[in-house]
Amino acid sequence: MKVVKRQLLSTEYPAVCDHCNSTFVFNILTDLIRFLNEEVVDDAWIKCPVCGNKSLFSSYRKKYENKLRGVKMSEFHLKASPAVKDNKKDMKSKMELHLAEAKGLNLWERTVFLGCQGSQNYNLNYAFSDVDTKLLLMPTFDELALNKSAVSTTHVLKNNEHMDLKDVRLFVSTLRKQNVNFVEMLFTDFYFVNSLYEEEWMKLVAAREEVARFSPNRTVMAMRGIACNKYKVFNNKVSEGFREDLGYDPKQVYQMGRVVEFVHRYVEGKDTYAELLKSRQRDLLLELKSGRLRYNEAVEYMNMQYVHVNNVADEYLTTNRPEDKYVDELLDEVLRNMMKVYMQEVVKYV
């Protein structure tokens, strides 16, 4: 028999489910045998009697211990978007896998937003498409106090799907740079948002068309930068999707086609940003992604698209377009309010 390594404060713990927010009293003695089979009691799982989901006992214990000290413990509840709740395109379980990964990395209380990125947002996914996400995080106490570098990295899941971890301060900065890979987070149908920051996040969503056009010139420069990167690496073996049988990476060719289409439609000015994200060349782009082109054809296609996107960008950038001051102020306001909530509700428990 394994011995519980920590003395319990009480046999009864008031619990709040991390999933449905239901409250109930959990009696340790009821499941004593199961707990004795655990290495430590903090790693045991509790099943919510209301929704049936499981959460780590340690999270309930922390809430209870804080209550004994007279501390109000904030609830960290991530709300699913309507599309996730309705399991549109079978995304519910896929997104929850990334959410569980974030919990496993002890990023739960720092999480602001978890959103789907990539093909699902462009109408370019198919049945077996990977689901990649961006996880926006509040900084740690040490990152704030010691002026450490803000997190910006990619975590690879066991199924080889990717979750980009990004400090929310860097995210706001990247919105100003108009990088579509981050702006699209305001348009994705598939996300979870922390209830603590939901009000501020929805301010960005409500103004997403304005945020997405904060600086038209920066948008075109950012898209040209992405296109140039695709051009440089598409036939380089360092590219992640390089195929020896083709001599190039078909995913880079597909991405080039998507970027050029976006830039062309953007400068025309006839579509909303939400419409721009949805490709009108789905069949062609998916064929490019499958490796339909022979090597010489791929080189010719990339050369042609590279010249085209640069010509379009050069002509567009001859006009100096002002940045939207309202959006600039909004981004500052949202970030300031999020940080205020974080300092009041989370950092004080460090």
The tens digit of pLDDT for each residue in 65-77 reads 443 333 333 344 6
Q: Does residue 278 contact residue 123 with C-beta atoms inside 8 Å? A: yes
CATH number at residue 332: 3.30.460.10
Any domain includes 73: no
Same domain, 82 and 37: no
Phi, psi of 165 (to 5 degrees): -100, 125
Expressed in angstroms, the distance from the first to the final Cα of the chain is: 35
Same domain, 312 and 338: no
Question: How far is Cα of residue 4 from the mean position of the Cα atoms in its chain?
Answer: 38
Residue 3 lies in a domain: no
Residue 96 lies inside a defined structural domain of this protein: yes
Q: Positive or negative, the Cα torsion across 166, 43, 65, 196?
A: positive
- 205 and 334 in a single domain? The answer is yes
How far is 92 from 82, CA to CA, in rounded Å?
Answer: 10
157: left (phi over 0), alpha (psi -120 to 50) or beta: beta
| One domain for residues 134 and 230 | no
Number of domains into which the chain is organized: 3
Tell whether 196 and 124 lie within a shared domain: yes
Q: Is the dihedral of CA 310, 312, 318, 319 positive or negative?
A: negative
Residue 72: predicted pLDDT? 35
**Average pLDDT of span 210-235:** 95
Whether residues 332 and 302 share a domain: the answer is no
Mean pLDDT, range 125-147, rounded to an integer = 90
Question: Average pLDDT of the chain?
Answer: 83
For residues 205 and 277, state if they share a domain.
no
Q: Which two tokens stand for residue 346?
A: 């989370």
Q: Is residue 100 part of a domain?
A: yes
Whether residues 178 and 285 share a domain: the answer is no
Q: Would you say residue 167 lies in a domain?
A: yes
Q: Quick one: 188 and 266 in the same domain? A: no
Residue 184 clears pLDDT 70, i.e. is over it: yes
Q: Using alpha carbons, select from 217, 229, 290 the residue that is nearest to residue 259.
A: 229
CB 349, CB 71: distance < 8 Å: yes
Q: pTM value?
A: 0.76
Q: Once rounded to an integer, what is the mean pLDDT over residues 255-261?
A: 95
Confidence at residue 78, expressed as pLDDT on a 0 to 100 scale: 78
Q: Does 57 share its domain with 151?
A: no
- Range of the structural domain that residue 307 is part of: 216-316
| Residue 140 and residue 178 in one domain | yes
Contact 163, 133 (CB under 8 A): yes
pLDDT exceeds cutoff 70 at 255: yes
